[in-house]
């Protein structure tokens, strides 16, 4: 009877237990790291058909966000400008630049430039740009300092927790309406979210909803 199982089998339960634990831990760690919005989204920086630099246009030249994204305060959707918008300047500036060929082609043939989408909420989330930018929430809150990015990348996770964090504490996240499109605005030393921020919340009757119905319908 004793010859059937070799001696090492005595350690089998231990090996199995440790093995299962290690494997389990790996799976948990892997899921935690790879499946979180942070991993899948933040830092996403696809190659665009035209290497448009927000840093030059917005940062250095100080063009307002709404010069190109002109529907952001009207619609849920912040539009990507048509080639025509680019051509308003680039018909004269860098008019022959080969890097702008796709834009000129798009304008001439009225075909779209295939920009790659970076920021995206899932289909079951109904996010609305207009209501945020008209009510004291700056672009920078979700998109980061785009004016310092040469090529745009995903800088915030845009997960549900990310949304809720702001919706739970609106007074810490609103700013004067005049500074919404000023991505460099920092609260001054006297700015106290509990006082100034709360005053804005009260004045605008901000009731940032934490209910499912706010975003899911």
Partner 1 sequence: MKMNSKTGQVGNAVESRYWRSIGESMGEVEHPEWSDREFPEGASELPEDFSRRDFLKLMGASAGLAGAGMLGVGCRRPEELIVPFGAETSEGIHGQEYVHGVPMYFATAMPTRTGAIPLLAESNEGRPTKVSGNADCPASKGAANGFAYASILNLYDPDRARTYFKNGKEMSKADAVEQLKSLAQSEGRTAFLMPSANSPSRDRMIGLIKDRMGDRVEFYVHEAIDFGIHARAASKAFEQSITPVWKFEKAEVILSLDCDFMGTEEDSGLYTCDFTKNRKLASADDSMNRLYSVEGLLTQTGANADHRLRANASRIGAVAVYIASKLGVLSDANSQKLIQDLTQEQKHWIDACLEDFEANKGKGLVVAGYRQPEEVHILVHHINGILGNNGNTVEFIPVATEQFGTLKDLSEDLGKYDRVVNLGCNPIYDGGVDIGSKAIVDKTEFRLTYFKKDESHSSLGKPSTRLCINAPLAHYLESWGDARANDGTIVSIQPLIAPLFDAMSELEVLSIYASVNPDTYQSAYDIVKDTFSGDSWEHYLHQGYQEGSKSTPVTDLELSQEIPSIAYSTIPSKSVEVVFTRDYSVDDGRFANNGWCQEVPDPITKITWDNVMSVSRKTAEKLGLEHGKKAKLTVQGKSIEAPVWVQPGMSDNTVSLPLGYGREGDLRIANFEYEKRPLINNNFFGAKVIDVGGFNFYKLRSSGRNLDFGEIENTGEDYPLSSTQEHWSMEGRPIVREATLEEFRKSEKKRAKELGKEEYNEKHFFPDNLGLGSHARNEGEIYEHPYQERPTLKSDVNQWGMSIDLNSCMGCNDCVIACQSENNIPIVGKEQVANGREMHWLRIDRYYTGRNHNPKEKDSDGLPLIKKIKDQGQNGDDVQHAEEWIDDPQVVNMPMSCVHCENAPCESVCPVNATVHDDEGLNVMAYNRCVGTRYCSNNCAWKVRRFNYFDYNKRPLENLYESPLTKPALFLDWLSDREKPSKKEDEWDLLELAKNPQVSVRMRGVMEKCDYCSSRIQAAKINKKVKAGTGGDVMIKDADLKTACQSACSADAITFGNLLDKDSRVVEEKNNPRTYETLDFLDNGARTTYLAKVRNPNPKMPDSYEKPFSTKEYKATEGGHGDDHGAHKGHGHSHKEDNH
Judged by the rule CB under 8 A, the positions of this chain that interact with partner 1 are 34-35, 40, 46, 71, 73-77, 79-84, 106-107, 109-117, 120, 123-124, 126, 128, 130-131, 134-136, 177, 200, 203-205, 207, 209, 211-214, 216-217
The distance of closest approach from Cβ of residue 192 to partner 1 in the complex, given in angstroms and rounded to an integer, is 19
- Of 18 and 84, which has the nearer Cβ to partner 1? 84
The distance of closest approach from Cβ of residue 5 to partner 1 in the complex, given in angstroms and rounded to an integer, is 32
Q: Return d(Cα 191, Cα 182) in angstroms, integer.
A: 17
Residue 89, Cβ neighbours under 10 Å: how many?
14
Q: Return d(Cα 90, Cα 83) in angstroms, integer.
A: 10
- Of 12 and 31, which has the nearer Cβ to partner 1? 31
The distance of closest approach from Cβ of residue 28 to partner 1 in the complex, given in angstroms and rounded to an integer, is 15
Reported as type and span, the H/E element at residue 93 is none
The distance of closest approach from Cβ of residue 108 to partner 1 in the complex, given in angstroms and rounded to an integer, is 8
3-state secondary structure of 58: helix
User: What sign has the CA pseudo-torsion 178, 77, 151, 45?
Assistant: positive
The distance of closest approach from Cβ of residue 173 to partner 1 in the complex, given in angstroms and rounded to an integer, is 15
- Of 40 and 60, which has the nearer Cβ to partner 1? 40
CA atoms within a 13 Å half-sphere pointing along the CA-CB vector of 205: 0
- Of 8 and 124, which has the nearer Cβ to partner 1? 124
Q: Give 65-83 as a DSSP string.
A: HHHHSTTTTTSSS-PPPPH
């Amino acid at each position: 009877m004793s010859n059937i199982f070799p001696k090492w089998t005595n350690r089998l339960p231990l090996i199995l237990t440790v093995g299962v634990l290690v494997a389990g831990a790996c799976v948990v760690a892997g899921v935690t790291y790879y499946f979180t919005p942070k991993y899948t989204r933040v830092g996403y920086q696809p190659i665009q058909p035209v290497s448009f630099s927000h840093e030059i246009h917005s940062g250095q030249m100080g063009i307002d966000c709404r010069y190109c994204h002109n529907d952001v305060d009207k619609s849920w959707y912040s539009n990507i400008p048509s080639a025509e918008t680019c051509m308003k300047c680039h018909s004269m500036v860098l008019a022959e630049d080969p890097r702008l060929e796709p834009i000129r082609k798009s304008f001439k043939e009225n075909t779209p430039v295939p920009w790659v989408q970076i920021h995206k909420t899932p289909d079951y989330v109904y996010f609305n740009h207009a209501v945020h930018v008209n009510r004291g929430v700056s672009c920078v809150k979700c998109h980061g300092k785009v004016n310092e990015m040469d090529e745009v990348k995903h800088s915030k996770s845009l997960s549900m927790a990310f949304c809720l964090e702001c919706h739970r504490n609106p007074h810490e996240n609103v700013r004067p309406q005049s500074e919404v499109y000023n991505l460099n605005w920092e609260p001054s030393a006297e700015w106290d979210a509990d006082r100034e921020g709360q005053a804005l919340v009260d004045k605008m009757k901000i009731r940032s909803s934490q209910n499912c119905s706010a975003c899911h319908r």
